[in-house]
């Protein structure tokens, strides 16, 4: 299906509004034609006192040869020609204005509503994508498509669509006027039209390609902007302001070049139309002298014809520009539809079962996994592991061993490429994802908080949570003390990613959010490794509360924090090298002992750690 057909499909639910707008715009075109027609009686009757006192002819319907007179629309008591013409002009302009207003509003309503639906579909598709999608597409590029690309489509589907209907009906009505006045003269005047339309169609294809390049350049510019603003501390610490400024200038210049290329291409049609219009007018004037001298055409008829023709060239010129803008929108829509058409790599199977509760165990059965971007190497290689309900299992190992990947497979951020993961005997791929993820809380090292209030960030863990539930979660996470010191307490806006808070405060809000969710399974990416000693003590105490009576999978970076884990799983190059408790592994002479000896310093052992002193 073409991009245009797919865009128009979003207008189907607004068909009634669209049809009414078409009717109203047809009235606008007819009113424009009547305005030109009334010029004839002005020259032949109003400004000619010697004219005969006869009905005022407006036009003749060609097929039936039926004549339409202005007198037919006036009260019987009105006979003065000027009165009738003046009343006709006022009525035509009033009707045209009202219809144009209503039609313009309705078609913009349809266009804006359709694009809003499309934007929502794109957002819903993107937000349900798997982790592979976000690894392959930068945030700035996706945002550029959802905002900038759709803005181009929105302009075409609203303002420009209204102008398309207006100019199309105006052109059609004026064409009828020139044809019924003198069809031979009209055909002669319009013979040059194909020389304008054919180049316009060819230019449209180029404009579509140019627009796609411009939108890609805009996405690159957004990416530089987003990275520089998000990483402003890194930029400043390395004194790289000039480097980022040059990067931004380079991308901005590319965008400017693409936009100028579009301007040059779409502007070609206007001088072509002006040139051929001048040739037509010179020919018309030459022809008119002969016709008027021979009495075959009145001055008023010729004036109406010429004005109608001149006015006709304006909508033709506008329509070529409208065609170019639609091509621009179609070019912008390519990336949008790419996102809509992308197949979900992790998706819910039809008939998936709901996971009502978690009671027994999480089991990895001969699990293999590789990332799509590195298909040659296995990140996890034949992993077998059982995590029983209520156990605390720590995943340790050198960097790149597969610890985080293994934990990310449990909530189905990725799907295994071999083997299976089961919860209470059910394959994760056979479960509804919402019910699975409802049973899992995650507290990561890099805590993400929204630019919202403290209460809203905690309440994110449970929809429709009562205020008292939010307050209790904050108290259990040892967060209420600093929350109440904030200017507006739970109503304080904490900034983008919680920038107004310290690292320990952010972690305690994340713990409060997990406490409020109250899921039976907890995935804990060691949350204290970047904190100072005082903050670490508070966070560890909060974690002790969070971990109580839950099944916990800990991604351990510091081995001193997992001494009291029920089971320690040592990963090396995607395989399980060792499994056991701390006391067993530390004296076994294997990888765990080597890692522990490298990391262990007595002063680093924190007695507040819930895994060391539960």
Residue 376's pLDDT is 62
Residue 71 placed within a domain: yes
The pLDDT score that the predictor gives to residue 602 is 40
Q: CA distances (Å), 159 to each of 62, 97, 155, 165, 331, in order?
A: 35, 17, 6, 10, 18
Q: Is residue 508 part of a domain?
A: no
Query: What are the tokens at 247?
Result: 């990067």
Model pLDDT, residue 269: 64
Residues 306 and 208 in one domain: yes
Q: How far from the centroid of its chain's Cα atoms is residue 198's Cα?
A: 34
* Interhelix angle 241-266/299-341, nearest 10 degrees: 140
| Whether residue 36 is found in the same domain as residue 176 | yes
pLDDT along the chain (614 residues), means of 10: 79 91 92 86 76 73 73 78 87 93 91 90 87 81 83 84 87 82 69 64 70 79 81 76 87 86 72 70 70 67 73 77 79 85 86 91 93 74 92 89 90 91 93 91 85 90 87 88 90 88 86 89 75 71 82 82 86 91 88 82 47 49
SS3 496: helix
Number of domains in the chain: 2
Say yes or no: 392 and 325 in one domain: no
Same domain, 218 and 329: yes
Write down the pLDDT at residue 571.
92
CA nearest neighbour of 161 among 210, 209, 114: 114
Is residue 97 domain-shared with residue 22, that is, in the same domain?
Answer: yes
Burial (CB count <10 Å: 0-12, 13-18, 19+), residue 415: middle
The confidence score (pLDDT) of residue 335 equals 83
Same domain, 285 and 248: yes
Q: Is the pTM above the cut of 0.75?
A: no
What is Dmax (Cα atoms) for the chain? 123
| Strands 440-443, 521-525: pairing kind | parallel
Q: Which domain holds residue 125?
A: 3-341
Packing angle between helix 299-341 and helix 194-230, nearest 10 degrees?
Answer: 40
Last residue of a domain, one of 291, 307, 341: 341
- Would residue 109 count as lying in a domain? yes
Judge if 234 and 162 occupy the same domain: yes
What CATH number did the domain enclosing 429 receive?
Answer: 3.40.50.300
pLDDT of residue 197: 61
Strand pairing report for 418-423 and 575-580:
unpaired
Let me know if residue 492 belongs to a domain. Answer: no
292: tokens are: 């008027």
CATH number of domain containing 162: 1.20.1560.10
Residues 432 and 574 in one domain: yes
């Amino acid at each position: 299906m073409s991009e245009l057909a797919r865009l128009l499909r979003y207008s189907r639910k607004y068909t009634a509004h669209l049809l009414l707008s078409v009717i109203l715009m047809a009235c606008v075109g007819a009113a424009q034609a009547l305005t030109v027609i009334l010029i004839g009686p002005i020259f032949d009757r109003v400004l000619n006192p010697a004219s005969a006192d006869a009905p005022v002819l407006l036009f003749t319907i060609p097929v039936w040869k039926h004549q339409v007179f202005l007198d037919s629309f006036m009260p019987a008591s009105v006979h003065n020609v000027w009165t009738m013409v003046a009343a006709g002009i006022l009525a035509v302009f009033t009707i045209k204005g009202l219809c144009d207003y209503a039609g313009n509003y309705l078609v913009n309503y349809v266009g804006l509503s359709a694009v809003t639906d499309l934007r929502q579909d794109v957002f819903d598709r993107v937000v349900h994508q798997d982790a592979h999608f976000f690894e392959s597409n930068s945030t700035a590029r996706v945002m550029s498509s959802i905002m900038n690309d759709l803005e181009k489509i929105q302009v075409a589907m609203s303002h420009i669509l209204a102008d398309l209907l207006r100019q199309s009906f105006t052109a059609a009505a004026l064409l009828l006027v020139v044809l019924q006045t003198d069809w031979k003269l009209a055909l002669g005047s319009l013979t040059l039209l194909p020389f304008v339309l054919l180049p316009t169609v060819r230019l449209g294809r180029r404009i579509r390609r140019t627009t796609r390049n411009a939108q890609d350049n805009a996405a690159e510019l957004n990416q530089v902007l987003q990275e520089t603003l998000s990483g402003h501390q890194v930029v400043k610490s390395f004194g790289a302001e000039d480097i980022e400024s040059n990067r931004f200038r380079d991308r901005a210049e590319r965008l400017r070049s693409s936009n100028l290329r579009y301007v040059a291409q779409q502007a070609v049609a206007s001088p072509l139309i002006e040139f051929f219009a001048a040739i037509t007018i010179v020919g018309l004037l030459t022809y008119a002298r002969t016709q008027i001298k021979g009495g075959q055409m009145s001055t008023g008829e010729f004036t109406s014809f010429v004005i109608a023709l001149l006015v006709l060239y304006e909508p033709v010129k506008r329509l070529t520009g409208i065609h170019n803008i639609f091509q621009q929108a179609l070019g912008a829509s390519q990336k949008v539809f790419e996102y809509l058409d992308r197949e979900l790599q992790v998706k819910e199977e039809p008939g998936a079962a709901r996971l009502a509760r978690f009671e027994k165990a999480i089991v990895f059965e001969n699990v293999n996994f590789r990332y799509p971007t590195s298909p040659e190497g296995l990140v996890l290689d034949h992993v077998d592991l059982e995590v029983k309900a209520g156990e605390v299992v720590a995943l340790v190992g050198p960097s790149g061993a597969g610890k985080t990947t293994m934990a990310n497979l449990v909530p189905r951020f990725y799907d295994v490429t071999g083997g299976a993961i089961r919860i209470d005997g059910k394959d994760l791929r056979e479960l509804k994802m919402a019910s699975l993820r409802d049973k899992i809380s995650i507290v990561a090292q890099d805590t993400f908080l929204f630019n919202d209030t403290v209460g809203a960030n905690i309440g994110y863990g449970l929809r429709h949570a009562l205020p008292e539930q939010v307050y209790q979660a904050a108290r259990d996470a040892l967060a209420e003390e600093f929350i109440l010191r904030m200017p507006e307490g739970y109503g304080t806006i904490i900034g983008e990613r919680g920038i107004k808070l310290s690292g320990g405060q952010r972690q305690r809000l994340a713990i409060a959010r997990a406490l409020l969710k109250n899921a039976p399974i907890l995935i804990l990416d060691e949350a204290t490794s970047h904190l100072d000693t005082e903050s670490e003590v508070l966070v560890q105490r909060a974690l002790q509360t969070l971990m109580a009576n839950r099944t916990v999978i800990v991604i351990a970076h510091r081995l001193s924090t997992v001494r009291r884990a029920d089971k320690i799983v040592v990963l090396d190059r995607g395989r399980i090298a060792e499994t056991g408790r701390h006391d067993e592994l530390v004296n076994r002479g294997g990888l765990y002992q080597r890692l522990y000896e490298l990391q262990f310093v007595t002063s680093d052992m924190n007695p507040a750690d819930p895994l060391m002193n539960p």
